[in-house]
Amino acid sequence: MEERGFLGKLAAIVPGLAMMVLTLYLLKQVVEPWLAGVAVFGQKGYITKSIGLNYVLMSILVGMAYRNLLFRGRIPDWAAEGFRTTRLFIKTGVIMLGSLYTIQSLAKVGGLAIALIVAFVFGTIFFVMWMGKKLGMDRSMVGVMGAACGVCGVSAAIATSPGVKAKPAEVALAIATILGFGIMSMFITPPIGRALGLSDYQFGAWVGTGILNSGQVLATCLSFNPAIAPGTAVAYGEIWNVVRVISIPFVVFFITLWYWRGEAKEEHMSLWGILKSKFPIFVLGFFGMTALSSFDMLGKEGSETLHMLRDWMAWIFGIGMVGLGAYIDFGEIKKAGGAPLKIGVAAGTLKLVLSLVIILLFIGKEASF
Amino acid sequence: MRILLALDESTRAIDEAVKLAAERGAGLTALFVQDATWHDYLGSDWLSGSNARGGYIEWAAEHDMREAAGLPEMLRERTKGIDFELKVASGRVPEEILKELASGAYDLLVMAQPFRRGLEVLRDTAAGLVPRLPCSLYLVRAQDG
């Protein structure tokens, strides 16, 4: 009986997953090569190289079209289970990304990433607290928006909400704001990066610091440069992402502490308790892969194993990107409004612009790994 | 005649539904739907650990249950002298409303506009329901709407 239940669950995944895989196959193997051969302004590959319309960006766009046009705002039951595997694909891809680094290379860039992330995370949180007070916003909502704008959007918002007793309806509005701003960032940052001649290192550092939602950092880096290898935008951006993810429990603790200090009631909590319940375990998989890579257990750079691993990553992320697009509902995002929208746009814009200025002023084109 | 009242944060919709039921001598059913669509709404969130994600979904459900807990007493107070019943369901709000209406027992649906119940705060609930309704619809402008 149980076996049949498992097989039934597996069968439910197939239609949606097949749709995502087939979409990616067509975009990666048919549409992108065709676009690369199309001449615009007398230049072959203008669309893929200059505009950056590669299979990653197209996967997100087609995913969005599925959700908003084909499915009219709701993934149908026959496809829902398959599309739910999006998280699994992206998490698996991120764990595998750990193989792009060694402990030494992480140590070289990690310090800068930690410094920038900590400064921007807490800077944004204080900005949101100040602005929230000015707008007379509910304290629990200030806490949620602080975490969401400061750390990494949706994940931080849902990790913080129970601790600050935020209303689910308000959390939904906060998430819509974050996603809306993130989508805009996702499409405007690669052209800006190209126009300013940013290197992969600078671009990864910029969007890793400046984009609100970590999922969109990943998508943006891959759309700037779809190559998955050491020294590419996704390799740098993901270091920033991982630092952000690790900071979630600490930020949740800080914001919850701030919230309850302003309330009349006492609330018992401990950093250890929050760490246990909020720490994303999959990050350990990422570091595990880095450890394997550091001791050459995946082969030397250029080995068959690493080549195969990166090829798989491209497919795994590609499938994840179709799913990521399919979870973007413009109807829901349009409903974002009020104080959360004002704070989200102000904090998001400030973060994006300020991080770009800092990258241009203080970060060289080349990283040391 | 029987009226179905879809419950959200609006007390005006409750007052209007009670007034209508009293004026027309109709029965009144209030439907509270616990939103069970958070799992899908958070589909793009791949960073959260299972504990954080599960913890939030539980928190949202508990919040709904707390809201639902105070309803029977409050509604009984307001519906004295009316044939009244309260139903609680769990799922996607418009689907649960349509399921209840499908019994054919209702002549009128009363709900607030905009409708604020769970994730419906992000959706135009009434607009989605209109083409599929088997009965008349009475929209009540929410206090802050």
pTM of the model: 0.83
Q: What is the pLDDT of residue A203?
A: 95
Q: Residues of A numbered 112-151 whose beta carbons fall under 8 angstroms of chain B's beta carbons: which are they? A: none
Q: Which of A129, A122, A178, A160 is nearest to A249 (CA)?
A: A160
Which chain A residues touch B42 with a CB distance below 8 Å?
154, 158, 175
Which chain B residues touch A179 with a CB distance below 8 Å?
44
Q: CA angle, corner A89, sides to A333 and B51, nearest 5?
A: 75
Question: With 60 as the cut, is the pLDDT of residue A2 above it?
Answer: no
pLDDT in tens, A54-72: 898 899 999 999 999 999 8
Q: What is the pLDDT of residue B54?
A: 82
Contact B33, B118 (CB under 8 A): yes
A308-321: average pLDDT: 92
Q: What is the pLDDT of residue A265?
A: 56
Which chain A residues touch B43 with a CB distance below 8 Å?
83-84, 86-87, 323, 327
Question: With 80 as the cut, is the pLDDT of residue A320 above it?
Answer: yes
Inter-chain residue contact A80 with B59, CB threshold 8 Å: no
Candidate from A2-6, A229-233, A339-343 with smallest mean pLDDT: A2-6
Phi, psi of A232 (to 5 degrees): -100, 165
User: Residue A133's pLDDT band (boundaries 50, 70, 90)?
Assistant: very high
User: Given B44, B46, B59, which is nearest A91 (Cβ)?
Assistant: B46
Which chain A residues touch B121 with a CB distance below 8 Å?
169, 172-173, 335
Write out the DSSP string of A264-319. Answer: SS-----HHHHHHHH--THHHHHHHHHHHHHTTTT-STT-HHHHHHHHHHHHHHHH
CB pairs under 8 A between A and B: 108
pLDDT in tens, B7-66: 998 889 999 999 999 999 999 999 999 988 888 788 767 666 667 788 888 888 888 888
Q: Is A320 on the interface with B (CB under 8 A)?
A: yes
pLDDT in tens, B83-94: 999 999 999 999
Burial of A364 (0-12, 13-18, 19+ CB in 10 A): exposed
A8-13: average pLDDT: 89
Q: What is the pLDDT of residue A318?
A: 93
